[in-house]
Amino acid sequence: MGRVLLFRKAILSVTGSRLVKGFVTTYGMRLGAGRFVAAESLENTVDKVKELNARGLAVTLDYLGESVDSREMAAEAAEVVLQTLDAIHAHRLDANVSVKLTQLGLLLDEGYCIELMDRIVGRARELGNFIRIDMEDSSVTEVTLQIYERLRERHGGEHVGVVIQSYLYRTARDRKRLEKLDANLRIVKGAYSEPADIAFPDKRQVDKQYIALAEEHMRSGCYTAIATHDRKIIERLKKVKRTHSGKPVRCEYQMLYGIAEDLQDELLKDGYKVRVYTPFGEQWYAYFTRRIAERPANLFFVMRGMLGR
Ligand code: FAD
């Protein structure tokens, strides 16, 4: 197993401990979470989105949270997503919304989760907006794709999209299945700790499959959101300009809030559309630890925060 994957596994296992979680959440944004999370309230997040829009960046807003314990928590999360769609509309922001199905009760009651998603995508359709369903760990890959398929049957493909992860062996097959629907896909490498019988343990293979998936989706004519900070991959995909039938490709680049801002600006300057995944809310712990697990250097931000600098 590569060093990067070992580091990810170690960090995700340490941060899973209650003690560590209690400490980090108590010392909150001071530990450096503010670098990756826009704000805790929707109101302050709107101001951050205005700043990003003024720089020329589009946004996808993510109300933080996952794997809720009750229907009430799922309903509360859905309510915030609806309020977020309304705020985007009221403030005329260039933004859409990303959601996690486990935050909307997928693991408690699938039917209820679909009901909530139906309301959310319905509201996005009314407002001319778009909902991206994030992809979570491999235990929910298949059900996430099925719910996506169901929602687009009901609301059309213009207002809902989903994510595929290049570290999973199954993803090439999934992409083909989704291409038949002309699916708007965000392509990512994958942020969870997955076993070698279902995910590539070697990062080079993850990167190779990423390029193959993105190139094929772009050339097929489907809308592709290239979500990575990997400069080499971005340079390679910039060369893909035409679909198999000779039309211009339809794509955008996506990056996480607070990461690779120089690369975001370069792409903007070259005329590409760039969207920043902007998380907000109080439940930032799991998101924050995944960002640390991806990159050892991010630990320095945490340590600096601990030292109060
Ligand atoms: P890497 O090979 O990990 O990194 C390439 C370079 O990018 C690094 O050398 C470094 O310079 C920079 N970089 C990468 N990560 C960081 C970081 N945390 N801090 C600072 N610099 C960094 N994953 C999912 O599983 N499901 C999702 O729905 C999902 N949605 C995402 C949406 C967006 C917009 C993005 C950008 C990522 C999303 N991810 C999601 C996370 C993704 O799977 C990867 O874990 C993450 O993007 C890091 O991989 P990378 O493509 O940037 O490449």
Kindly state if the Cβ of 254 falls inside 6 Å of ligand 1.
yes
- pLDDT bucket at 309, cuts 50 / 70 / 90: very low
* 233 contacts: CB under 8 Å, gap ≥ 6: 207, 210, 211, 214, 226
Query: Catalytic site residue 219?
Result: no
The number of the ligand 1 atom at minimal distance from the alpha carbon of 210 is 51
Check if 150 is active-site. no
Confidence check: pLDDT of 307 > 50: no
Spatial contact of 302 and 284, defined as CB atoms under 8 Å apart: no
Distance 129 CA to ligand 1 centre (A): 25
Span from the CA of 229 to the centroid of ligand 1 (angstroms): 6
**Residue 243: phi, psi to the nearest 5?**
-80, 175
Q: Does 291 carry a binding-site annotation? A: yes
Asked if 48 and 75 count as a contact pair (C-beta separation under 8 A), the reply is no
Q: What is the pLDDT of residue 69?
A: 86
pLDDT digits (tens, 9 = 90+) for 112-163: 999 999 999 999 999 999 999 999 999 999 999 999 999 999 999 999 999 9
ipTM surpasses cut 0.95: yes
Q: Residue 226 is inside which H or E element, if any?
A: strand 224-227
For the cut 90, the answer to whether the pLDDT of residue 18 exceeds it is no
Range in 39-43, 77-81, 116-120, 215-219 with the lowest mean pLDDT = 39-43
Q: Could you give all domains of the chain from N- to C-terminal order, each with its CATH number?
A: 1-33+288-309 (no CATH), 37-283 (3.20.20.220)
Catalytic member of 123, 186, 207, 275? 186
Per the CB < 8 A criterion, the answer to whether 171 and 144 are in contact is no
